[in-house]
Structure 1
Amino acid sequence: MEKRILGKTGLEISSIGFGGIPIQRVDEEYAARLIEELNKQGINFIDTARGYTISEELIGYGLGKFGRDKFVLATKSMSRDYDGMKKDIEISLKNLRTEYIDLYQLHNVRTEAEYNKIISENGALRALKEAKQEGKVKHIGMTSHDLVTLEKGVDSGYFDTIQFPYNPVERQAEELFKKANSLGLGVIVMKPLAGGAITNAELSLRFILENKSVSVAIPGMDSIEQIKENARVGNEYRKLNDTERDIILTEAKELGTEFCRRCGYCAPCPQGIDIPSQFLIEGYYSRYNLKDWAKERYMEFSSKASDCIECGQCETRCPYDLPIRDMLKKVVNILG
């Protein structure tokens, strides 16, 4: 397996990692088999989150059977304040059956207001720093779907890693990845298959790994066959040839006609709808087959796709000219 250094953490990790969202669908024993297969295939980086229902618990069960010391373990929390993060760290340690977590990340920081709360005196960052001093957390990272907010994190000096979507369709972070890499931050790529929209997984992963600013790509996996297929990209890594590049970029271009990159330029919506998140959750429902989980998350939104009054302001701001109103109707048809 090709190994890369996770920025200034100094951790040597596999270029293909394990995304922990889909593991929610399997039982404990199969989860343990997945962890065992990761080790067999040379994948040593695991990423999960408090918000992925039982993902931490399932991974913890597998680690308990096949060895915590074989893996670099990352998780994350949506908590924004000190007390909430302090509590979540303890829950993660218990769930993952470990005395320490290699990388604890602030999960999906979306706005400047959220970011400012996190770094305030009573914010979540303080709890993470204390946990680091106590040895419970080794390194601190930040994830986001908002490029402007993530850039604040890169420039701050607070974080060891960043995590952002990147694939042949979503390439808006390439310059920020270069900057992060030059500053010694590890770069973790989520959504390497565009939430399952990209059909040619191998070519997409190979495209991503050509970017030397990237530390690791973390496709979500819930089967042994998926692990074998994705690990093969790192175990037998080779650059794309011209024909392969044309294939994957053509697919990306085709997806681009109605594909949300979650850039956030459509905001603000007069009805308070978080438009990119509507499409994100619909993707989990339709492409990841996480129907119950996605439905539950969708119902938590205070303003939903169904609240759209079709004013069209979002479409005037979208740099990709997406038919956002029609796409929101699709969300309503699927999620209500």
Structure 2
Amino acid sequence: MRYTELGTTGIKASVISFGGIPIQRVSVEEAADILSACKESGINFIDTARLYTNSEEKIGEYFKGHGREGWYVASKSPARDRDGMLQDLARSIENMACDYIDLYQLHNVSTVQDMERVLGPGGALEALEEAKKQGLVRHIGLTGHKPEILDTGVSSGRFECLQVPFNAMEKQALPLLKKAKQKGMGTIAMKPLAGGALTLAAAALDYILNCSWVDVAIPGMQSVREVQENCSVVEGKVTDKERRQLEKLIAGLGTHFCRRCEYCQPCPNGLNIPSMFLFEGYYTRYNLKEWAMERYSALPVKASDCTQCGVCESRCPYELPIRKMLKDTAAIMGK
């Protein structure tokens, strides 16, 4: 395994680290086996979240049986105000049987209003800054999917790490990653396999490991085999042939893969098109059916409400067949 400094935090993290979404769907015993395999392979950094149902609890059960020594732990909360953040932080600490958390992050700050709220008086960031002084949190991070929103947080100088989607196909966040690195922030690539769409995992991870603007990639892993395969990339076993195969795969996916750039928004009928495709991906590729359906069901307007007006397709810079994709999503996710 290779290790890198996560910005100026002092955290020396494994370049391939553990994304905690998939262990929601395995047993406590299987989760422990996966985390043990991570440790044996040299992985020392775990990323999870309050929203990942029982992921924190399973990590906590592992720590109770195996100890926390040698691990860096990161989690995140969607809370936007001070009190909510303090409550979530306390729950995370309890769930993971920790005295402190190395990196606690604001989860998916996605609107101007949310950013103003978390940065303002009584906001979530204020809570984390207090918690850092108390030793409950060592470092503070920011996560999200919209570089144009996150830029305000990066520019504020109040965050030590940035976590964004970045992979061989989704490169919209690259300018922001560069800016964050230049400001001394640690950079974490979530969705390194594009939510499971990049099935050539070794070549996809190799792409990220060769990007100087990314410190750590956090692929989700749901089996010991996946841990071993992902970590083998660090040993330099990816061939030029595999890289060419990845390029071919991306070219094919480019005709129907939503990159969440949001140029299609706003929809005249109120459809949150990127979120619909995101939840459908969690349902089909991550196999998080219940989790994805719960969030899809909460959307006020569904894919089945599309009137086929085509405004979205006229705006899409990737020329995706969005109307057909919405029909497919409606067939999978229902009304």
Question: When the two structures are superposed, what TM-score results if normalisation uses the length of structure 2?
Answer: 0.96
Give the counterpart of 1:312 among 310, 313, 317: 310
Aligned residue number for residue 245 of structure 2: 247
CA contact (8 A) 1:8 1:160 kept: yes
Q: Match of 1:232?
A: 232
1:65 shift after superposition: 1.4
The one-letter code of the counterpart of 2:288 is L
User: Is the aligned partner of 1:57 residue 2:64?
Assistant: no
Residue 326 (structure 1) aligns with: 324
Question: Is the CA contact 1:31–1:58 (under 8 Å) kept in the aligned structure 2?
Answer: yes
Tell me the SS of whatever aligns to 1:142: strand
Aligned equivalents of 2:312 and 2:129: distance in 1? 39
1:100 aligns with 2:100: yes
Once residues 144 and 252 of structure 1 are traced to their aligned partners in structure 2, the CA distance between those partners, rounded to angstroms, is 23
Matched letter for residue 146 of structure 1: K
Task: Say yes or no: does 1:26 pair with 2:40.
Answer: no
Structure 2 residue aligned with 1:257: 255
CA drift at 1:154: 1.6
Question: What SS class does the counterpart of residue 73 from structure 2 fall into?
Answer: strand
Find the counterpart in structure 1 of residue 134 from structure 2: 134
**Partners in 2 of 1:300 and 1:145 — Cα distance?**
19
Give the deviation of 1:241 after TM superposition: 5.3
SS at match of 2:282: helix
Identity of aligned residues (%): 53
| SS, match of residue 83 in structure 1 | helix
Q: Mapping of 1:68-87 within 5 angstroms?
A: 68-87=68-87
Distance 2:289 2:27 in 1: 17
192-201 vs 308-317, which deviates more? 308-317
Provide the rounded CA distance (Å) in 2 between the counterparts of 1:156 and 1:5.
Answer: 22
1:1-336 alignment, distance < 5 Å? 1-234=1-234, 236-237=235-236, 242-336=240-334
1:166-191 deviations in Å (ceiling 9; x for gaps): 11111122222122111111111111
Give the letter for the 2:285 counterpart.
R
Q: How many residue pairs align between the two structures?
A: 334
The one-letter amino acid of 2:116's match is N
CA-based RMSD: 1.3
CA contact (8 A) 1:102 1:137 kept: yes
Question: Does the aligned pair in 2 maintain the 1:74–1:103 contact within 8 Å?
Answer: yes
C-alpha distance in 1 between matches for 2:173 and 2:112: 18
User: 8 Å contact 1:147–1:263 — kept in the other structure?
Assistant: no
TM-superposed CA distance for 1:231, in Å, is: 1.3
Q: In structure 1, list runs of 5 or more residues that go unmatched.
A: none
CA distance in 2, matches of 1:119, 1:307: 36
TM-score (norm. length: structure 1): 0.96
Structure 1 residues 198-225: Cα deviation after superposition (integer angstroms, max 9, x where no partner): 1110000001100011111111111111
Cα deviation code 1:146-165 (max 9, x no counterpart): 12012222211111111111
Measure the CA separation in 1 of the matches of 2:243 and 2:225. Answer: 25
Q: Distance in 2 between matches of 1:154 and 1:177?
A: 9
For structure 2, list consecutive stretches of 5 or more residues without a partner in the other structure: none
